Amino acid sequence: MIDRPLSRRRAIKSIGAAALVGVAGCSSDSDQTDTESSTSTETPTATRTETATSTQSDSLGLDGPRHGDDLPADPDPTNGYPPEFEVVPEERSIDTAEFETLTRGDFEVKLVPTDVAYYWYARGEARFADTRSESEFEVSHIFGAVLSPAGDGIDLPDDPVLEWPTDDRIVTYCDCPHHLSSLRAASLMNRGYERVYALDEGFGAWREHNFPLAGTDAGRTPPTRTITGTVPTQYEGETAWAFHTESNQREATEITSDGSYTLEFRFVDVTAESTIRVETPAYEVTAPLGDLTNGTVTSDGTVSASGGTTNTTNTANTSTR
């Protein structure tokens, strides 16, 4: 475990640091090598000048900072940690081998429950990466997190995550609740990052528990929109995407065994007239958001509604598999 200044996180005793080392990789060895326990026991010696946060707890039974508290300033917005809080959850053991997993390519991505993610967060024991778009991140994100969008596997040249040590614990999150975050987690694992977790219940659960947020309108919860569709069953397990090109917002979901998919997203500052592009392995469809949410995208790439089909821009994928 790489040491960090005590002003950023509590010191880890040497025996505890050894216990924290693990690897989150393919399913063949992840359960054997990635059992962690939290052992932050020492008190930081650095002098603090910030106002102490209030002690609060919720249905998860966790004491610590909440959105709306007088939170300390973040001295390093690029490292993925929040500032150090005065009030944190009590020490507990975490067995990451018990986490549920998702398969993304060649990797088994572990899903961290909200309570564990918050525990790591409040104690400064994990870095946080927001895998949504810059537009969504600017409006509201986890206080202390950095932007690290999921996409087609191409990393942003200024992505701060790429400067982090590959053996540090990283939590990725999105709003879907965990498709984009698990895709980004797998892409980081492919680059050699060893302990990456996707937030299981997503950013929505973080907001619901009133955990610390930042942004231009941090308390805003955009409405949930839903696009449903189908593709030929041969595309089971592949990904369907929704894009708002003007703001670079995106959402993704997995195609099920019967070829259906459901895209649920909370894009900011879009209306029923906003143009949305749906991409699947079988076709691309571009149409107003209202048409897509009021209808269903059929397997031939048209949008059907109770009143018939709507006008769309449709590009079919004619490649064979």
Tell me which residue of 35, 12, 9 sits closest to 22, measured CA to CA. 35
In the prediction, which pLDDT does 93 show?
Answer: 95
pLDDT digits (tens, 9 = 90+) for 76-87: 999 999 999 999
Taking CA atoms, 119 is separated from 7, 116, 147, 149, 279, in Å, by: 18, 5, 21, 24, 37
What residue segments make up the domains of the chain, in order of their start? 14-214, 225-316
CB 167 within 8 A of CB 2: yes
What is the phi/psi pair of residue 290, to 5°? -60, -40
Q: In the structure encoding, which two tokens stand for residue 307, read together? A: 């009143």
Report pTM: 0.80
238 pLDDT above the threshold of 80: yes
* % of residues, the chain, pLDDT over 90: 72
pLDDT digits (tens, 9 = 90+) for 26-40: 333 333 344 554 433
Taking CA atoms, 287 is separated from 45, 139, 233, 251, in Å, by: 58, 25, 24, 16
pLDDT digits (tens, 9 = 90+) for 183-194: 999 999 999 999
CA distance 77 to 71: 14
CB 59 within 8 A of CB 210: no
Q: Provide the 8-state DSSP code for 186.
A: H
Q: Provide the 8-state DSSP code for 123.
A: T
In the prediction, which pLDDT does 315 show?
Answer: 72
> In the structure, what pLDDT confidence band is assigned to residue 43 with cuts at 50, 70 and 90?
very low
CA distance 31 to 48: 39
pLDDT digits (tens, 9 = 90+) for 193-217: 999 999 999 999 999 999 999 999 9
Average pLDDT, stretch 144-162?
Answer: 84
5 pLDDT above the threshold of 60: no
Tell me which residue of 255, 194, 192, 210 sits closest to 229, measured CA to CA. 255
In the prediction, which pLDDT does 316 show?
Answer: 67
In the prediction, which pLDDT does 154 show?
Answer: 58
In the prediction, which pLDDT does 28 show?
Answer: 31
Tell me which residue of 136, 146, 284 sits closest to 204, measured CA to CA. 136
In the prediction, which pLDDT does 313 show?
Answer: 67
> In the structure, what pLDDT confidence band is assigned to residue 11 with cuts at 50, 70 and 90?
very low
Residues facing 314 on adjacent strands: 285
**Architecture of domain 14-214 in this structure:** 3-Layer(aba) Sandwich (3.40)
Taking CA atoms, 199 is separated from 1, 114, 210, in Å, by: 22, 7, 16
In the prediction, which pLDDT does 157 show?
Answer: 77
